Structure 1
Amino acid sequence: MIRDVEPLEGFGEPWGLLTAILEDGTREWRGEIWEEVGPEVMTWRPYPGGPSAGAVWLHLIMVELAWFGLKDDLTEAERAELLWDAIDVDEAIWPDAPAQPMSWYVALQDRYRQVSLAGIKKFGAADEVLGSGENRYTQRWIFGHVIQHEAYHGGQIVMLVTQALREQ
């Protein structure tokens, strides 16, 4: 069997290929969760104040929007839905995630992924530098970082769901 990732249509390069890789990675880690799980699994924490699968999922969505330069387009209701001002990974602040089943989180990520895809279509050259001072990045680096971040936290979500199911 040969596996390959074809660039998504409608995107200039390298964005078509990178977008296809991001989408493939999302399908990959989501596929590791074999069944629909309920709110009690999505909000379960391995220790008091720790991350839940739901909170990590919200963080994953937020970071994608932030790095792709789309956070300023969000409404206050959307920011509240994502717990934008409540989750602080750097300070290990993980508020209670919405008590919703996994399908709600999947739909939420799918909805915001569409926002990302629309934004990606407006990206400039891959070597365009964004930021200022010491915090300067190429568009290409930003996209790679989002892909890596998705894989890292997607794995955490799978682990937290698996652990929560074993604890039940």
Structure 2
Amino acid sequence: MNEINNWLTQLDQATQEWLGELGDDVTEAELMWQAFPDGHSIGSVLTHIAEVEGYWLHHIACGEPYHDLEAEVLNAAIDQGAVKWPTPPPHPLSFYKALLAKTREKTKLLIKALDNPNHTAMRGEREFTLSWLMTHVIVHEAYHGGQAVLLLLQQRMGK
């Protein structure tokens, strides 16, 4: 169980670091802004972070039914390969923080309930270890969290 707690602590620390850099005064316009047509926005990136955590840790690792958070919040799918990120609807930063917190709360409950750091899960024909799944989500979040901070800086520093 200590290994599981360590992974969850790492995930929380990564989140706290980039959320701290993002700050609390991000406007709805800043959350919706895209540097280029169909490009990333802070709001879509934050939704994507929650979506990926839910997909890999709730659905794949723990067998929960899949919940398409991106379609629900953004009313469209993100196509990362084609760089097509929908403009998010206007929501305050508190909306996205609540989305992330709700996802994390569920992650902690589900992953702790596994009580097995050697747990494996299947996605189609491929088997994933809990170690891989947790590492993937931690790295993914750090990448996109930094991206959200950079998008804010880009706006505020004059592009």
TM-fit CA distance, 1:38: 0.8
Q: Which runs of 5+ in 1 are unaligned?
A: 1-11
Residue 93 of structure 1 pairs with residue 87 of structure 2: no
The Cα offsets for residues 58-100 of structure 1, whole Å up to 9 and x where unpaired, read as 11110000110336264x7x56433385122233221111212
Q: 1:144 aligns with which of 115, 130, 135?
A: 135
Distance 1:123 1:88, change over 3 A: farther
Residue 26 of structure 1 pairs with residue 15 of structure 2: yes
Q: 1:72 aligns with which of 60, 65, 72?
A: 65
Higher helix share: 2
Q: Read off the aligned partner of 1:27 and give its amino acid letter.
A: Q
Partner of 1:47 in structure 2?
A: 36
TM-fit CA distance, 1:123: 2.1
Distance in 1 (CA, whole Å) between partners of 2:51 and 2:58 is: 11
Distance 1:45 1:142, change over 3 A: same
Question: Is the 2:32–2:43 contact (alpha carbons within 8 Å) kept by the matching residues of 1?
Answer: yes
Question: Is the 1:62–1:82 contact (alpha carbons within 8 Å) kept by the matching residues of 2?
Answer: no
Q: Which runs of 5+ in 2 are unaligned?
A: none
Residue 62 of structure 1 pairs with residue 55 of structure 2: no
Distance in 2 (CA, whole Å) between partners of 1:60 and 1:68 is: 12
Q: TM-score, normalised by structure 1?
A: 0.81
Partner of 1:9 in structure 2?
A: none
Of all paired residues, the percent bearing the same amino acid is 34
Q: TM-score, normalised by structure 2?
A: 0.85
1:72 aligns to what SS in structure 2? coil
Distance in 2 (CA, whole Å) between partners of 1:73 and 1:132 is: 12
Question: Is the 1:54–1:105 contact (alpha carbons within 8 Å) kept by the matching residues of 2?
Answer: yes
Residue 162 of structure 1 pairs with residue 150 of structure 2: no
Structure 1 residue runs of 4 or more that deviate by more than 4 Å after TM superposition: none
1:91 aligns to what SS in structure 2? coil
Distance in 2 (CA, whole Å) between partners of 1:101 and 1:34 is: 13
Partner of 1:106 in structure 2?
A: 97
Q: Read off the aligned partner of 1:29 and give its amino acid letter.
A: W
1:125 aligns to what SS in structure 2? coil
Question: Is the 2:117–2:131 contact (alpha carbons within 8 Å) kept by the matching residues of 1?
Answer: yes
Cα RMSD (Å) = 2.3
